[in-house]
Structure 1
Amino acid sequence: MLFNLNADKAPWPKTPLIIQFEITSSCNLNCIYCYAKPFTNKIMRFEDFKYLADKTYNEAKPFEFGILGGEPFLHPQILDIIEYSLGKFPSVGISTNGTLIWKLSKDDLIRLKYAVESGLDLQISLDSHISSIHDAVRGSFNLTLKSLYVLEKYNIPFTIGIVVTSVNAPTLIETVEWLITNFKNIEKIHFENVMPSVIMDRDLYYKLRLKDPIKFWRSITPKLAELSRKYNVYIDLPFTNNANLHYVMQNINYGLCLAGITRAIVKVDGTIVPCELVHTLKLGNLYKEDWHTIWERARKIMLTINEKIVKGLQLKGYGLCRLMNLEKIITPNDIETF
Structure 2
Amino acid sequence: MYIYLKNINKIHFYGKFLYINKANSWLKLNELKSLIFIEILKGNNNFDDLIDKVSKNNFNINYFTFSKIVIDEMKEILEISFKKNKRKKLIYSGIKNKYFPYNIQISLTNKCLHNCLHCYKYSNSIKNKKIDINKLFSFFNYIKNKTPEIEFSGGEPFLYEELDEIINNYYNDFYFSIITSGNWKNNPSPKLVEKFDNIKLTLYGYSKKTHNYFVGNKNSFKKVIKNIQYIQRYNKNLTIQTQVKSNDIEEIENFIKLSIKIGIKNIVFGEVLMIGRAKSNKDNFNNYDFNLIRNNLFSLREKYKGIINISYIDSPKNLSKKNFFNCKAGTLSWSVLETGDITPCTLLIDEIFYLGNIYLEDYKKLINLGFEKYNNIYINNFEKIKNKYKKKGENINNICGSILKK
Given the two structures, how large is their TM-score scaled by the length of structure 2? 0.62
Q: After TM superposition, give the deviation of residue 24 of structure 1 in Å.
A: 1.6
Aligned length: 297
Q: Matches of 1:96 and 1:250 in 2, distance apart?
A: 33
Aligned match for 1:285, one of 336, 339, 357: 357
Three-state SS of the structure 2 residue aligned to 1:123 is strand
Q: Matches of 1:263 and 1:130 in 2, distance apart?
A: 35
5+ long unaligned stretches in structure 2? 1-16, 18-27, 31-96, 401-406
Asked if the contact 2:108–2:160 (Cα under 8 Å) also holds between the matched residues in 1, the reply is yes
Alignment partner of 1:213 is 2:290: yes
- Structure 1, 66-75 or 200-209: larger mean CA deviation: 200-209
Alignment partner of 1:69 is 2:154: yes
Asked if the contact 1:18–1:263 (Cα under 8 Å) also holds between the matched residues in 2, the reply is yes
Alignment partner of 1:142 is 2:229: no
Distance 1:159 1:305, change over 3 A: same
Alignment partner of 1:234 is 2:315: no
Three-state SS of the structure 2 residue aligned to 1:230 is coil
5+ long unaligned stretches in structure 1? 1-8, 325-338
Structure-to-structure mapping, 1:16-27, within 5 angstroms: 16-27=101-112
Report what 1:160 is aligned to: 240
Report what 2:179 is aligned to: 95
Three-state SS of the structure 2 residue aligned to 1:124 is strand
Report what 1:309 is aligned to: 382
More strand by percentage: 2
Q: How big is each residue's C-alpha offset from its partner over 1:297-323, in whole Å with a ceiling of 9 and x where there is no partner?
A: 753233222234389978855445287
Report what 1:104 is aligned to: 187
Q: Matches of 2:311 and 2:303 in 1, distance apart?
A: 14
Alignment partner of 1:273 is 2:351: no
Q: Matches of 1:214 and 1:74 in 2, distance apart?
A: 36
Equivalent residue letter for 1:234: N
Q: After TM superposition, give the deviation of residue 265 of structure 1 in Å.
A: 1.4
Asked if the contact 1:125–1:162 (Cα under 8 Å) also holds between the matched residues in 2, the reply is yes
Q: How big is each residue's C-alpha offset from its partner over 1:8-47, in whole Å with a ceiling of 9 and x where there is no partner?
A: x998993333311111221121111112225641223443
Q: Matches of 1:85 and 1:236 in 2, distance apart?
A: 31
Report what 2:142 is aligned to: 55
Structure-to-structure mapping, 1:112-261, within 5 angstroms: 112-113=193-194, 115-116=195-196, 120-138=197-215, 139=217, 140-154=220-234, 156-166=236-246, 171-183=251-263, 186-197=264-275, 199-200=276-277, 202-205=279-282, 207-208=284-285, 211-227=288-304, 229-231=305-307, 233-239=308-314, 254=324, 256-261=326-331
Distance 1:249 1:305, change over 3 A: closer
Q: After TM superposition, give the deviation of residue 230 of structure 1 in Å.
A: 2.6
Q: After TM superposition, give the deviation of residue 220 of structure 1 in Å.
A: 2.5
Q: Matches of 1:299 and 1:219 in 2, distance apart?
A: 39
Report what 2:92 is aligned to: none
Q: Matches of 1:173 and 1:272 in 2, distance apart?
A: 38
Equivalent residue letter for 2:244: V
Structure-to-structure mapping, 1:320-335, within 5 angstroms: 320-321=396-397
Equivalent residue letter for 1:96: T
Report what 1:6 is aligned to: none
Q: After TM superposition, give the deviation of residue 122 of structure 1 in Å.
A: 1.0
Q: How big is each residue's C-alpha offset from its partner over 1:53-110, in whole Å with a ceiling of 9 and x where there is no partner?
A: 222326xx33532111111111112233234443212x32100111128x427xx224
- Pick the structure with greater CA Rg: 2
Q: After TM superposition, give the deviation of residue 163 of structure 1 in Å.
A: 1.9
Aligned-residue Cα RMSD (Å) equals: 3.8
Report what 1:41 is aligned to: 128
Distance 1:219 1:188, change over 3 A: closer
Q: Matches of 2:306 and 2:108 in 1, distance apart?
A: 38
Distance 1:211 1:175, change over 3 A: closer
Higher relative contact order (CA 8 A, sep 6+): 1
Report what 2:94 is aligned to: none
More helix by percentage: 1
Percentage of identical aligned residues: 22
Distance 1:322 1:258, change over 3 A: farther
Three-state SS of the structure 1 residue aligned to 2:223 is helix
- Structure 1, 296-305 or 15-24: larger mean CA deviation: 296-305
Three-state SS of the structure 1 residue aligned to 2:378 is helix
Q: After TM superposition, give the deviation of residue 168 of structure 1 in Å.
A: 7.5
Report what 1:5 is aligned to: none
Q: How big is each residue's C-alpha offset from its partner over 1:261-296, in whole Å with a ceiling of 9 and x where there is no partner?
A: 443211233221222223222221123235352365
Q: Matches of 1:323 and 1:134 in 2, distance apart?
A: 23
Three-state SS of the structure 1 residue aligned to 2:143 is helix
Distance 1:13 1:170, change over 3 A: farther
Alignment partner of 1:29 is 2:127: no
Equivalent residue letter for 1:235: I
